[in-house]
Amino acid sequence: MPFCIRMEELKGPVLEIVSGNSRIFSGETVRLKCSIYDVHNSTWDYRWFKGSMQLPQSGEHLVLWNAHIKESGKFYCQGVRYTVVGEILTLQSLAVEISVDGGWAIMQVPPHRNIVGNTLKITCRVRGTPPLHDMILYKDGVEVVRQRGPIPHFYLTNLTTEDRGMYSCRASWDVNGRTYSVISVSTPVQVLEVLSQPVLEIDANNDQVPAGMMKLICHHEYNAPAPAPPVHYYFYRNNNKLGVATSVNHEFVKRTPGQYTCKTKVPELGLIRWSEPKKFE
C-alpha cells in the first residue's frame, strides 16, 4: 500500500467564493475555488470536505447547484499529489461557511473585516423581485434604521465598537391591495479596532529565558490595511520606562518585583494603547 507524506512546508490552499454568496436562498447556486500556491507548479488533485466528511468532488471548483438547506455547512479543501513514494498532502484550507436559507429574506454582510472608522454596507435580499416599499434594519432586536423605497442597502458609517451586534432586516411590499412583510434571521456583525488594547504577559518560568531574567510580551491585534505603518512597543515598571522603544513585541528584563505595563504606539496613525498593569512578585 502507498504511504502518505505530509509536507509541512506546503501551506494550506486558499478557499474562496468566486460566484454567489456565503448566504444564499435555497434553489440558488454558489461556486467555491481551491487555489494551491506551489512554486514548482506541480499538478495537484483536490479533496473537498464538508465538516469532517469528505465529498466525492475532486476538481479545483466545488459548485452547489440549486442548493438545499441541508447543504449548509463549513467547507474545506486540500491538495493531493501522487508520487512514486505515495501521496503528498497540503494542509487543509481555512473553512468557508455556506448558509442556505429557506426563508424569504437574507441579511448579507461583506466577508471582509469591519474596522473602526470604516463604512459597512448591509444588504437585505428578498427572494424573487417583489416591489419593495419599506425596509427596516434591526440591531439586537431594536429598530435602528427605517427607509422607504426599493433600495435594499443600509450603510453604517464611521463604525465604532458600539456597532457590534446581531442584525436582521424586515422588508414589506404590496400586491393586489395586500401588504406582505418578511424578516431575515439575525446575522452577527463584528467591528475590530485598528489597534486593540494590549495584554501584557510576564514569562518568568521558561528554560529559554536567561537566568535572572524574565520575558515581557505585549500581545495585541493590529488591523490597519496594508501597507500598515509599524507598531512601536514600550515596557514599564512602576511607571518607569524600561529601555527604548522596540519594533518587536517582547523584551527581556531583570526579575525585579513591581507593577509592569506595556504600551503600543503607531505614530503615523496617532494611535496609543496601554495594557492593564500586571504585578510581579
Going along the chain from its start, the domains and CATH numbers come out as: 3-101 (2.60.40.10), 105-189 (2.60.40.10), 199-280 (2.60.40.10)
What confidence score (pLDDT) does residue 83 get? 82
As given in the structure block, the three cell numbers for residue 190 are 463584528
What confidence score (pLDDT) does residue 268 get? 95
- CB of 158 within 8 A of CB of 120? no
Mean pLDDT of 11-38: 92
Q: Which amino acid is at 278?
A: K
Mean pLDDT of 38-45: 81
pLDDT at 36 over 50: yes
Average pLDDT over the chain, rounded to an integer: 92
- CA pair distance 113, 122, nearest whole angstrom: 13
What are the C-alpha distances in Å from 117 to residues 6, 102, 176, 219, 225? 43, 34, 44, 23, 12
pLDDT tens-digit series, residues 147-161: 999 999 999 999 999
- CA pair distance 234, 273, nearest whole angstrom: 10
pLDDT at 51 over 80: yes
pLDDT tens-digit series, residues 68-114: 999 999 999 999 988 888 888 899 999 999 999 999 999 999 878 89
pLDDT at 4 over 80: no
What confidence tier does 10 reach under pLDDT thresholds 50, 70, 90? Answer: low
pLDDT > 70 in the chain, percent: 96
What confidence tier does 7 reach under pLDDT thresholds 50, 70, 90? Answer: very low
The contacts of residue 157 (CB under 8 Å, 6+ apart) are: 119
pLDDT at 60 over 90: yes
pLDDT at 235 over 60: yes
In three-state secondary structure terms, 196 is: coil
What confidence tier does 236 reach under pLDDT thresholds 50, 70, 90? Answer: very high
What b/e readout covers 178-192, taking b as 16+ CB neighbours within 10 angstroms? eeeebbbebbebebb
pLDDT at 6 over 50: no
